[in-house]
Structures are given as structure tokens and as C-alpha cells.
Amino acid sequence: MRFTRVVLACFALLCSRLNAQSADTSRSRTFLNRGDLGWAAAATGTTVLISAFDKSIARASQESRFQDSSLHRFALNVSHVNETTLTIAGIATYGIGRLTHSELITDVALHATESVVLSSIAAQLIRGPLGRTRPYVSHDSDQYLFRPFKGFFGKSSFDNRAFPSIHTSSSMAVATVITMETNRRAPGATWIVAPVLYTAALLPGVARIQLDQHWASDIVSGAFMGVFAAYKVVSYSHDHPDNRFDRMFLRASVMPGPNGGVLVGFSPGF
């Protein structure tokens, strides 16, 4: 789809900027800073621009050529890659890293899990109050239909929490963490790793468009949130290796326990 190519081009530009920033020797004193307002403005502007095409993209995605049984099945399978599965996978990978005493696996898994959780919480705080309806609610005819505070609870809450896409924010967060960690350790491989990861990370979001559960602008906003959360987590963690969170979890010890169990020990270092 042309939409996918355009979004990939935008994020290729964004990621080159993020990699340039991550190579900067300056250290951010706080997790958030004034410069982040510029990124927020860019994300908002891009999302508003894309929203003008939401209706046409939604209707095009429901054409018969995109709705055959094999594509629909593929979309359903890809949509299983979400914040829950990625968080569980991150925690499991973190455990493997601790058990095998791999600093690389532990570090990447911890930061990926942090980023998924952070971006998911931020997205939920927006989705509930905003109450943007999903495309199928208006039969792809009104991308600006909002029901404020209707996205929290109730039988119809799922219908009213389209913006932003947590599927996309989660997958893009993981892709960004791995890309940034690759750039730190093997910069020459970034140009190979980044396109593969970001293409794969966009698939859950594109699948949700095909399933008529998200507008294109939901995907774009979710992608920005995932990239931003991951960038902040990775850059801040490496700029401040003695931060309390990393001291607690990167110094944890995991070892086989009795009866096939696992023992976990923490060394907070507060």
C-alpha cells in the first residue's frame, strides 16, 4: 500500500535523526526536556495531516482485493503481536538473559519491556478521555467522531478507544530499542537491521487498518509514541547507568531453584 511506503519513509527519516542524537555526547539531565515539545508538535502535525486521508484509506482497505481470506487470516495472526504478547516476551527474554548471564540480552530486553509498558500507559491515558470511535462504528464514513470518556469502561468501550494504536506503539517501541542498541554496539549493521525491524513493526498496525479497527492516523500517532518512548528509555538509561530502575533490574540475579523453579534476587542499591 502507498500509505505503508509513505509511513516507512517518514520513520526512516525520524530514525536517522534519533540515531544522530543517540550518538551525541551530550547527556540529558532529565527524562523529558524542552526539546521534546518539538517532537510532540511534529507528531501532532503529522497525525492531523494524515487524518485528512483516514476515510479514503479506510474505505480502500475494505476493498475486495484486500479482504480475501488469506489476507484476512494473515491480518488476524499479525494482530496478535500486541502490548501483552510483547511485554510477556520481554520479561521472558529478560529472564533468559539473567539465567545465561548475558549483559546484552538482559539490557535490551529490560529496555524493550520498559518502552512497551511506558508507551502503552501513555496511550491508554489518551484513549479513554478522547474516545475516538473505530472505523467500523461509522462504517468508515467519519474519522472525527469522538465520544469523550467513553473509552474507559462498559460494553462499548472498545468501540471508543481507537486513538492511538497500542499495537503499533508497542511494536515500534521494540523495533526502536533494538535499532538503537544495535547502533551503539555495531553501527555498521544499523542500515540492515532498521528497515527490517520497522517494516515488521508496522505490520500489526497495517493489519488493524485491514481489520477496520484503526484509522491510519491512529497508526501514525501510535508509531510516534512507540519510537519516542523507546528513544527516551534507551538514551536516558545509557546516559544515567546508575539510575535506580537499572540498578535494581540489571543487577538482579536469576538462578535455577529447587523442584524446577526459579529464584530471583534483587540488589536495589538505593
Residue 203 included in any domain:
yes
Query: What is the domain count for the chain?
Result: 1
The per-residue pLDDT for range 162-209, each reduced to its tens digit, is 999 999 999 999 999 999 999 999 999 999 999 999 999 999 999 999
Cβ burial 16-29 (10 Å sphere, 16+ → b, else e): eebbeebeeeeebe
Tell me if 27 is assigned to some domain. no
| Domain of residue 45, CATH code | 1.20.144
Whole-angstrom Cα distance, residue 80 to residue 183? 28
Name the average pLDDT for the chain.
84
Residue 265 domain-assigned? no
pLDDT of residue 22 exceeding 50, the answer is no
Does residue 226 sit within a domain? yes
Highest mean pLDDT among 146-150, 163-167, 266-270: 163-167
Confidence at residue 134, expressed as pLDDT on a 0 to 100 scale: 97
| Grid cell for residue 81 | 503481536
**E strand or H helix that includes residue 265:** strand 262-265
Mean pLDDT of 130-137: 96
The string of pLDDT tens digits covering residues 97-108 is 989 989 899 999
Q: What is the reported pLDDT for 39?
A: 85
Assigned domain for 28 exists: no
Separation CA 206–CA 116 (nearest Å): 18
Is residue 270 scored above 50 in pLDDT?
no
What value does the mean pLDDT take over residues 138-154? 91
Cell of 149: 470518556
Query: Do 146 and 138 touch, CB atoms closer than 8 A?
Result: no
| Structural domain containing residue 249 | 2-16+38-255
For residues 156-173, one letter each, b for 16 or more C-beta atoms within 10 angstroms of the residue's C-beta and e for the rest, the string is eeebbbbbbbbbbbbbbb
Confidence of residue 69 (pLDDT cuts 50, 70, 90): confident
Q: Which carries the bigger pLDDT value, residue 241 or residue 218?
A: 218
pLDDT band at 154 (very low <50, low <70, confident <90, very high): confident
- Residue 24: all three cell numbers together: 551525541
**pTM of the full structure:** 0.82
